[in-house]
Every structure is written in C-alpha cells, then in structure tokens.
C-alpha cells in the first residue's frame, strides 16, 4: 500500500470519496455542502492506494501549531486492514514537519465506534460543539429578553415571625442587599418575595431549602420564567420532594429520566398541599413546547390556586 499527497489529477477520485462519505455518514439536520475542487486548495489531502484508490484523509494546518483532521475515509471493502490508521499516521507525520503540535477533529456523538477508535489513537474530548435551529434560538433568546419572570416562596406555616427571622438570616448569604417581603399568613401559607427570587433560580431554591430546614415546614418555590415556562419545587425537611417544569427541555436538552422527573407527582402534591390528585393531573402538565400548554401566566395562576398559594408571583 502506498500513501501519497493528492494532485489535481485526483480530483475525480476525491469527489467520489466525498460523495461516499456524505451518503454513508451524513446525519446532520442541515443539507450537506456542495463540494468542489476549490474546497481542497489549501488542504493537505492524502490518498491510500493499492491497485487503485483505497481511501483518503484531508485536513489543514493553522498558524498556532494546530491542525484539524477533517475526514478519514476508507472504502467499505478495504476496511479493517489498518488503512485508516496509516492515513492518520501519515497525516500526523506531514503536519509535524510544519511545526504542528496538536491535532483536532470532530466526531458525531452517535458514532460510538468512531469515538472509541479516536480515543485509542490518543484523542481526548476537550469541548462539545452544540447546534440549534436558528428559529428556536431566536424565539428563546427573544423570550429571555422580553418575557416576564417573577417568583415567590411559600412556607406552610402561620408563624410569619419565624419566617421573617429565617429570611433575614439566610437571604444576605445569597447576595441580597436587603431583606425580603414576608406576608401575613394566607390560607395556611406565608409568602416571601424578593427581586433576587424573580431572576435567580438557584438562589430561590436554595432559600426555599433553608426555610424548610429552619421552620420544619413544607415550602414551595414557584416561578414564571421567561414569560413562557412555569416551574415549582416542593421542599420537605430541606430536600426537594417534587420538581416541575412545564416545558422540561425549554432551557436545553435533558436526559430522558430528567425530563420524566420534571413532571408533577400528584401523590406528593396532594400530600403536601391538600390538592386533589385528579386536579393535579389535569392542570399540572408538561409539553415539548410552550405552545402546547395554556399561556404560561395562566398556567402559573392555575397551579398556584390548585396548591392554595395566595399572593404567588407578583405581590
């Protein structure tokens, strides 16, 4: 087997290889590019031959001692003979002569075999490339800029003074410059409001946990986020016992088990708030997009009413 740099006489062979690569491996959500000889003008292209072309590799070098290995491809009938490894070794040797110290490449996350091969050759993960439809990014970014967000924490107690004391103790630890607004008991709950709770989920749920610990009471942190998503977390003895988000993957993809976990548990909600389980199932639903549910502010009000949370959200 011989490995050599391709020339203009090999344009037809390279084009055929690229067509095969696209047909076999292209699984991206956008159309494949139209490849022309000009695309390889500044690339290092290597051909493996033995009574005809067996495969190819190509990539390019950059000024910062870096080279990107774009594609390594071997004809299906010629695989498992070490040709791909030979192409990679030849590519590495040639770019090393140009002062390159590091190689990078992209590999599809669904390509388990390919990932294992590259790892055996010494490649390690150092970043993840993310993709999203432009319309989805535009919609969500626009919602984040213009959508209203508000939240409140509700402590299941009639002792507003104990809640006030706990808020005064823990809220400054979260970076708040002034104390929260604590309501008088309403329907068996004391509500806590603060601007920090409206904009910072982590601070909101941490304070809810601290209040649950300090008062030994059930606590619910409920919020409307970006004007399009309703979220709550129910705490008992400082720990989350039920967590809900109306659109589980609104802020990004999640493992399947996390999507399931963000659905309301009617049994827990009923035990902690007195809501009817059947009503919880009917109202506290999840969906793949906000459009599949009632308008988020309306859904927020329905859930708050279901749990008996008066003064939820805005005061």
Q: From CA 305, how far away is CA 307, in angstroms rounded?
A: 5
Among 36-40, 139-143, 266-270, 302-306, which is the least confidently predicted range?
139-143
Sign of the CA dihedral running 245, 249, 250, 253: positive
Summarised one tens digit per residue, pLDDT across range 169-212 is: 999 888 886 677 999 999 999 999 999 999 899 999 999 999 99
Q: From CA 2, how far away is CA 83, in angstroms rounded?
A: 10
Instruction: Identify which of 25, 32, 311, 19 has the alpha carbon closest to the alpha carbon of residue 181.
Output: 311
Q: From CA 313, how far away is CA 302, in angstroms rounded?
A: 12
pLDDT reported for residue 144:
47
**Cβ(203)–Cβ(197) below 8 Å:** yes
pLDDT reported for residue 140:
61
Instruction: Identify which of 207, 262, 211 has the alpha carbon closest to the alpha carbon of residue 237.
Output: 211
Q: From CA 218, how far away is CA 188, in angstroms rounded?
A: 11
Summarised one tens digit per residue, pLDDT across range 275-296 is: 999 999 999 999 999 999 999 9
Q: From CA 220, how far away is CA 186, in angstroms rounded?
A: 14
pLDDT reported for residue 109:
81
**Cβ(208)–Cβ(186) below 8 Å:** no
- Cα–Cα distances (Å) from 257 to 21, 129, 199, 202, 249, in that order, read 34, 23, 26, 21, 12
Q: From CA 184, how far away is CA 192, in angstroms rounded?
A: 10
- Does the pLDDT value for residue 300 go beyond 90? yes
Q: Any long-range contacts for 88-95 (C-beta under 8 Å, 24+ apart)? A: 88/57, 88/121, 90/3, 90/46, 90/57, 91/44, 91/46, 91/57, 91/59, 91/67, 94/5, 94/44, 94/46, 95/44, 95/59, 95/61, 95/67
- Does the pLDDT value for residue 25 go beyond 90? no
pLDDT reported for residue 50:
94
pLDDT reported for residue 233:
97
DSSP letter, residue 188:
T
What three-state secondary structure class fits 3?
A: strand
**Cβ(179)–Cβ(192) below 8 Å:** no
What three-state secondary structure class fits 191?
A: strand
- Distance from CA of residue 272 to its chain's centroid? 31
- Strands 150-155 vs 66-74: parallel, antiparallel or unpaired: unpaired
pLDDT reported for residue 278:
96
- Does the pLDDT value for residue 143 go beyond 70? no
- pLDDT > 90: what percent of the chain? 76
Q: What is the pTM of this model?
A: 0.58
Instruction: Identify which of 192, 202, 198 has the alpha carbon closest to the alpha carbon of residue 168.
Output: 192
Position with higher pLDDT, 141 vs 165: 165
Q: From CA 85, how far away is CA 90, in angstroms rounded?
A: 9
Residue 299 is encoded by which pair of tokens? 């859904």
């Amino acid at each position: 087997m011989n490995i050599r740099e391709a020339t203009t006489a090999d344009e037809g062979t390279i084009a055929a290889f690229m067509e095969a690569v696209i047909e076999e491996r292209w699984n991206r959500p956008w159309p494949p590019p139209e490849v022309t000889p000009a695309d390889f003008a500044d690339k290092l292209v290597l051909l493996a031959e033995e009574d005809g072309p067996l495969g190819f590799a190509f990539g390019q070098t950059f000024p910062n001692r870096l080279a990107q290995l774009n594609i390594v491809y071997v004809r299906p009938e010629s695989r498992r003979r070490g040709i791909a490894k030979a192409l990679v070794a030849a590519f590495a040797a040639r770019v090393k002569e140009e002062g390159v110290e590091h190689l990078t490449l992209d590999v599809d996350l669904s390509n388990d075999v390919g990932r294992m091969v590259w790892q055996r050759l010494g490649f390690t993960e150092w970043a993840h490339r993310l993709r999203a439809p432009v319309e989805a990014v535009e919609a969500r970014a626009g919602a984040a800029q213009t959508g209203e967000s508000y939240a409140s924490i509700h402590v299941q107690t009639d002792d507003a003074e104990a809640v006030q004391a706990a808020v005064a103790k823990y809220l400054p630890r979260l970076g708040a410059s002034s104390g929260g607004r604590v309501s008088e008991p309403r329907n068996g709950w004391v509500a806590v409001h603060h601007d920090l709770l409206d904009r910072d989920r982590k601070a909101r749920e941490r304070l809810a946990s601290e209040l649950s610990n300090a008062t030994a009471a059930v606590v619910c942190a409920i919020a409307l986020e970006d004007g399009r998503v309703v979220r709550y977390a129910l705490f008992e003895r400082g720990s989350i016992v039920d967590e809900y988000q109306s659109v589980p993957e609104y802020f990004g993809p999640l493992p399947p088990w996390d999507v399931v976990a963000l659905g309301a548990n009617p049994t827990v909600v009923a035990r902690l708030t007195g809501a009817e389980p059947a009503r919880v199932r009917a109202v506290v639903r999840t969906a793949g997009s906000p459009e599949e549910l009632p308008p988020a502010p309306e859904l927020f009000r329905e859930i708050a009413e279901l749990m008996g949370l008066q003064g939820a959200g805005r005061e």
